[in-house]
Amino acid sequence: MSYAIIRTGGKQFRAEPGKTLRIPSLLGDAGATVEFNEVLLGSDGSSVRTGVPTLAGARVTAEIVKHGKDDKIVVFKFKRRKNYARKQGHRQKFTEVRIRDIVLG
């Protein structure tokens, strides 16, 4: 089973062919192809290769499935006895991608 650890949006994700990932928002329409070149680690099932800091020539291709927003979180700031309370909501945007192919170079 081949897999790769990729970095996108300041986070790291384990990518496997056919797997669907929710990553921080990317530009592009649904159905478009994206390529991730920051591959930190890769395995072809028998051996594991690590990059310093990335694997040269390695890439992961994926297809954009959809864009969306995560569940709402509530940010509540409060200071006791000071008549200070602030409530704010936030919904993080994401892009759902389906991994197509992993090339370890």
| C-alpha distances out from residue 28 to 31, 44, 53, 69, 73, Å | 8, 29, 27, 16, 26
Number of neighbouring beta carbons within 10 Å of residue 17: 16
Q: Is the pLDDT reported for residue 1 higher than 90?
A: no
pLDDT for the residue numbered 92: 96
Residue 99 predicted with pLDDT over 90: yes
Q: Which pLDDT tens digit goes with each residue over 40-74?
A: 999 998 899 998 999 999 999 999 999 999 999 99
Please give the Cα distance from 67 to 71 (Å, whole number): 14
pTM, rounded to two decimals = 0.85
Provide mean pLDDT across the span 11-35. Answer: 96
